[in-house]
Structure 1
């Protein structure tokens, strides 16, 4: 057999006719196979051409491998990935447990915080519910699974709202606007293609609304009932014109803010403070009355009707409160409605009851208002709760606990708690008694409302506006703990940012119902005050007694005991005031000073006339004041024994004086103050006052 030889292919020259047209195609005949190429022959020829064109490469051994490059683990806690640090989002969501029910309902609301692709779910009280990962950017309506819960995004919130904790207090007024693609990517410009893709995803998550009907003149015009000539009514000419109790256009008139809404068929009338009071109010007091009125009438942008007036002493908290009560007892912004309140309760320390009653009568008059002070012997509580003669009741904190059940039946419309900083614990019995009265209008008067303890501050805020700061466990977790952590020396940047945001939010919320002014605003009303600190040189007798005590064995032994050290400090203070104080006896008739100390001190030094340098300086000052001026003097001391020494000095110098200390009956204390203020210096030149008793 002959070996196979690939046939050679010859290129056929095209034949052209004289006319230049291509030759006509020949008709293909099935039996004619001479000119048609064989498919197998063509395949073999093609394989041969490939082998000639591409020679086969020989095998080559691989070269040496290069070492692997070191890469940073993105999940390492030492370095955050760029995705985690750059992409943040916060959302309000709905969540529920996994269920196979046909009709599913949501179990509650929550807050979802997303950093990078890591998501953290919290309930509405701030308690953590789980963590998970997100597959992509979240938009409104997105669904995902976090911590075994089904979650659906309801709305977006800003980072500022999340850090401030508004979502956990329920103070989110409205959902934050959906951020644009520029804000999400933190760039100034985006491409048209990226924006179109973002809009398409957002549009797919929105509910499809019904198409609007094309507006026409007929649809824009409201329906009007046809009228006949005999059914047309003439307009009323006797329309109601609200007339306020006092003239709002009068001189120095103080008009309260009008409510934004009015019941159907009612009219709003101006509430004007009584001109008898406004002519006595200063500018800061006018602002204080208006501030409290808006709070107790619910016109502020917070959920509550309580207020804290925290002005410093001397700014007229009592007068501002009396003006507010008188206005609420006599007027209502809704025309022809009953006054806002009918019964008011003032709770204060026992020592201030008579002061409150006297101030009310001073500014309003006895004939215009009835003030009830409960007394077991003279009156009955039903005279206030069921009678119409009394509109204001004044009672002490301690006695309130005994009559709270009877007051619940009478219906108290407003409560004023003077010195309200005493109710700084959640279990305070007086605070619980006031809360049992079921009145939403509560006012605290205090010169020191801001406490160092946030728990005490929360108690006061929750007393006037219950639930405004949520429950205490939530407040502690979302506000108290972050603020305290941010104040620690080793606080991180995130803790500082969160603590400052929570502190700012807390101040912003409470500023809506806490008003505090300092005594600096009185500088334009009062004469300039000058303070002098006088250093009195001790006498020789005081120096010897002082040195004798310091050199005694008792003093050296007391250096290791804190209790004895405090006792010796008091002994040295008595020596500085007057050595004769060491001879004073206590209530049991015993010497107040340790006997071992008295034994080492010469008795002659303790009984030496004029042994006190302070009393010598006081003697000179009193003599100069009495002989050259018409002024009177108030001497304040922390110890009644020192007041006894001062009284002996005044008696020996024939100076008239009045004395008020802890032994003075509460009913007589204000009378002593009034007598000193009204009498000339010849009748009461000096007023001896105990610091503790004078403060109440």
Structure 2
């Protein structure tokens, strides 16, 4: 396996590689670095570099999860270094080749992301020319979301990327890298061999302008002024287009001032001129709002000359426009103004497809003799099935005939009001519509996949017209409606299934049957604890024309065996695992074959020989990286029906969803490259809500996601009541805390790179331990009572729980603290306290869980658990209280731990208490945790590394102990 690393060195992108299987030479040379590396023919320049890398036990770690024990040390490596003009292509090639044999390190992935961002900026025209010395260069224009994305890139820049010893900060290094990559991307887009002079310097590899010093200085000054004029300042002009009233035929373009960093802060031009008191909110941005308004209108008039009429007034507040002028603003000037950084507010209908001529599609499907709203099993349908369809043209919601199109053409008006809504009449589209209607009979075949693509808005209709509506009858109509749970019918629970299904589980079973009959796959993404396994076993228990292959992690093989024996005893189960597994598989000998991802990868050829009816992937996030061998292996296994089971269809990137969906329904979301262009980049980089909605529409029929917190899904699961418990510090804790902060901040301020990151993480750990108990931080075996605010509060809550005859789970991330709590709570209350940690064997662990779940008088009422050892995989519904004694700072990990008690089988309301010490880093970071929950929830719905990138001033604000944090003595 080759691991490729990237770094920024002397204005070039350098690459070096390591192979952990190489023999480790001694001396200063990196023990696993590949010598004589050549990745891209003769384009790169080879060099030997000394890189400062974190080192553990005399072994270099190029991009590790840094710990406090890692020390920086110089290592010699061979690099291949590329001019930015060549680096963009090399990075794209590496990304395409990445897989099990070629792994991209964190630093290389960062450069690939930066290169993609640079190319996107150029594609959107977000760059300007500049002169530096005697060279012509392109520079990025970073405003709004682009500026935020650049800041995020700077925070994410790995230390390994700067390991060649450059002194630049991350922000400075990122700015230099983006400058170079945008310049390279612009030349790749604009390059021409015929250019001369200034244009040649901006498009070719030779950047020299070839002018004298005086002329270069004048050119540089003019370009700098151009950049300042184009980007704007802290306050910008904002333009709002208002539709005409019934008695007034004119449109109105209203002027305002808007704070660039606070878009919600808008002061209209009338208030700017009439009331100085209304400008107080803008005073911190600019001293003279009235002068700024005039200057901004003058700047905007260069892009939109019609504003010059308004500037003839002493106090301009608005511009009157006729219908033609309004259309020119909407279609031409508004994008230019918005692109130049001005605020632009347009009527909501302008962005909607219904506001212009579009195509409506109606499809018909064959039901195979089944009742309406159902699909006959073995009907042979699927994404490749051909459907009958008919197009019609519409303006807004109104269908149009050929005669009506011709009459609209005679109006010769770009905007008309149709039944109370303004719509656009584009002459080109009207002509295309007429041509299409005349050629309606010359249609190509359309598949179910084509139909879904059109319904999701990812493709254009006939003649390039937008698709405004897609409808269908029968099962395909149900699929498009997003209401398949309600309309697919109920076939009941199979006789071979020994158990009862809750209503939402029965709906899940019927949904999977619906997709199976239609020849489609799906993703069962129910929340943890809602019984995905029993829904699958009910599906498998039904008679099928062939066997089912189930692929899962090794840790779940035994669970599937036990659950199948319990709920589907008639299903013949065979486990394909181990050194003595069968050389050949006889599909007549089993109904369900269970294997692991690693075995499925090794035995892919053997498994492909079996005529599988169905393939199920449990914990399908195992294939979220489409480039891995195991993802490729299971994707190419043939089956008529495919189900992916996962509670986290999107973990970190939308590419996770693409990989899983490409298994379930190959080709539904297009190629990985197309998916990135259509959805991933617009959503993840730009926050594009329209792209997110399109992706939701395409995937919704094939993703079933229910949450325990949805009362309509599982009304008989009790409430989960979450609360923060704010604890004070004792004087001893506060003294230790402050001493650590002062000492570590001084050391952090004088360090850099890997050493600094390690110190930051070590400081966080130390402070969290002090917040728990001084004895945990000091490791001196001293007494516990009276020295910790958390322990005092925990004892008070535990006393109330025990008095009520209830039970509690107490989670801590520190096994040492868990042992302390077990001893202290047992001594305090005279009751047994259970303690589960990573050192327990399986038998002891199972016995401990079983005793707690018995909930008898002899079983322990309090259960202390190490978060790593007990945070997943257990059912502990005997407890109806969950206490997080310290915070992991990862919401998903905390939620999983809470779900040990808040799951099916729980009969009481679950109270979740999260301990936080007041005025400390714990309280301040607790307020930030909710920010980690966004991406997955938007489409379907880790760690502390970001803390190391904060400046010393930001760290001081985060770590410093607030006044009043110390508990007053009783």
| TM-score grouping bracket, smaller chain normalisation | 0.5 to 0.7
Q: Secondary structure of the residue that 2:593 maps to in structure 1?
A: strand
Say whether residues 1:466 and 2:662 are aligned partners: no
TM-score, normalised to structure 1, is: 0.53
Say whether residues 1:536 and 2:727 are aligned partners: yes
Q: Is the 8 A contact 2:618 2:644 kept in 1?
A: yes
Instruction: Measure the CA separation in 2 of the matches of 1:530 and 1:200.
Output: 61
Q: Is the 8 A contact 2:488 2:511 kept in 1?
A: no
Residue equivalent to 2:701:
512
Instruction: Measure the CA separation in 2 of the matches of 1:483 and 1:619.
Output: 47
Deviation sequence 1:554-604 (CA, Å, 0-9, x none): 4422245343122111101101111122244xxxxxxxxxxxxxxxxxx79
Query: In structure 2, do the counterparts of structure 1 residues 172 and 485 end up closer, same or farther at CA, with 3 Å as the change threshold?
Result: farther
Q: Is the 8 A contact 1:401 1:429 kept in 2?
A: yes
Residue equivalent to 1:291:
511
Query: In structure 2, do the counterparts of structure 1 residues 441 and 83 end up closer, same or farther at CA, with 3 Å as the change threshold?
Result: farther
Decide which structure has greater helix share: 2
5 Å matches for 1:233-312?
272-274=492-494, 277=497, 280-298=500-518, 305-312=520-527
Of 436, 441, 457 in structure 1, the residue corresponding to residue 636 of structure 2 is 436
Of 683, 688, 692 in structure 1, the residue corresponding to residue 864 of structure 2 is 688
Residue equivalent to 2:653:
453
Instruction: Measure the CA separation in 2 of the matches of 1:688 and 1:438.
Output: 47
Residue equivalent to 1:548:
739
Deviation sequence 1:174-207 (CA, Å, 0-9, x none): 35236524235537999xxxxxx99999999799
Residue equivalent to 1:632:
807
TM-score, normalised to structure 2, is: 0.39
Say whether residues 1:525 and 2:716 are aligned partners: yes
Q: Is the 8 A contact 2:784 2:824 kept in 1?
A: no
Q: Is the 8 A contact 2:498 2:567 kept in 1?
A: no
Of 843, 848, 852 in structure 2, the residue corresponding to residue 676 of structure 1 is 852
Residue equivalent to 2:358:
159
Of 538, 542, 550 in structure 2, the residue corresponding to residue 346 of structure 1 is 550
Instruction: Measure the CA separation in 1 of the matches of 2:537 and 2:759.
Output: 50
Say whether residues 1:180 and 2:180 are aligned partners: no
Residue equivalent to 2:582:
381
Q: Which runs of 5+ in 2 are unaligned?
A: 1-301, 307-322, 333-355, 362-383, 394-400, 413-430, 443-484, 751-755, 874-970
Say whether residues 1:573 and 2:775 are aligned partners: no
Instruction: Measure the CA separation in 2 of the matches of 1:510 and 1:398.
Output: 28
Residue equivalent to 1:398:
598
How far residue 423 of structure 1 moved from its aligned partner, in angstroms, is 1.9
Deviation sequence 1:515-564 (CA, Å, 0-9, x none): 11222135620233333422223233323322332344x44222453431
Deviation sequence 1:327-347 (CA, Å, 0-9, x none): 1xx2xxxxxxxx3332x2222
Q: Is the 8 A contact 1:371 1:391 kept in 2?
A: yes
Query: In structure 2, do the counterparts of structure 1 residues 506 and 181 end up closer, same or farther at CA, with 3 Å as the change threshold?
Result: farther
- Provide the aligned C-alpha RMSD in A: 4.6
Instruction: Measure the CA separation in 2 of the matches of 1:396 and 1:206.
Output: 52
How far residue 451 of structure 1 moved from its aligned partner, in angstroms, is 5.1
Instruction: Measure the CA separation in 2 of the matches of 1:659 and 1:487.
Output: 45
Instruction: Measure the CA separation in 2 of the matches of 1:387 and 1:484.
Output: 44
385-394 or 411-420, which moves further after superposition? 385-394
Q: Is the 8 A contact 1:255 1:273 kept in 2?
A: no
Residue equivalent to 1:359:
563
Q: Which runs of 5+ in 1 are unaligned?
A: 1-75, 88-114, 117-156, 163-168, 191-196, 209-253, 259-269, 299-303, 331-338, 489-498, 585-602
Query: In structure 2, do the counterparts of structure 1 residues 579 and 473 end up closer, same or farther at CA, with 3 Å as the change threshold?
Result: same
Q: Secondary structure of the residue that 2:863 maps to in structure 1?
A: strand
Instruction: Measure the CA separation in 2 of the matches of 1:203 and 1:569.
Output: 68
How far residue 296 of structure 1 moved from its aligned partner, in angstroms, is 2.1
Q: Alignment length, in residue pairs?
A: 434
Instruction: Measure the CA separation in 2 of the matches of 1:636 and 1:695.
Output: 12
Q: Secondary structure of the residue that 2:617 maps to in structure 1?
A: strand
Residue equivalent to 1:595:
none
Residue equivalent to 1:644:
819
Instruction: Measure the CA separation in 2 of the matches of 1:638 and 1:198.
Output: 65
Of 563, 574, 582 in structure 2, the residue corresponding to residue 372 of structure 1 is 574
Residue equivalent to 1:243:
none
Q: Secondary structure of the residue that 2:389 maps to in structure 1?
A: coil
Instruction: Measure the CA separation in 2 of the matches of 1:276 and 1:691.
Output: 39
Q: Secondary structure of the residue that 1:468 maps to in structure 2?
A: coil
Q: Is the 8 A contact 1:632 1:681 kept in 2?
A: no
Residue equivalent to 1:617:
793
How far residue 272 of structure 1 moved from its aligned partner, in angstroms, is 4.4
Query: In structure 2, do the counterparts of structure 1 residues 83 and 320 end up closer, same or farther at CA, with 3 Å as the change threshold?
Result: same
Instruction: Measure the CA separation in 2 of the matches of 1:364 and 1:202.
Output: 56
How far residue 460 of structure 1 moved from its aligned partner, in angstroms, is 1.9
Q: Secondary structure of the residue that 1:535 maps to in structure 2?
A: strand
How far residue 280 of structure 1 moved from its aligned partner, in angstroms, is 1.8
Decide which structure has greater strand share: 2
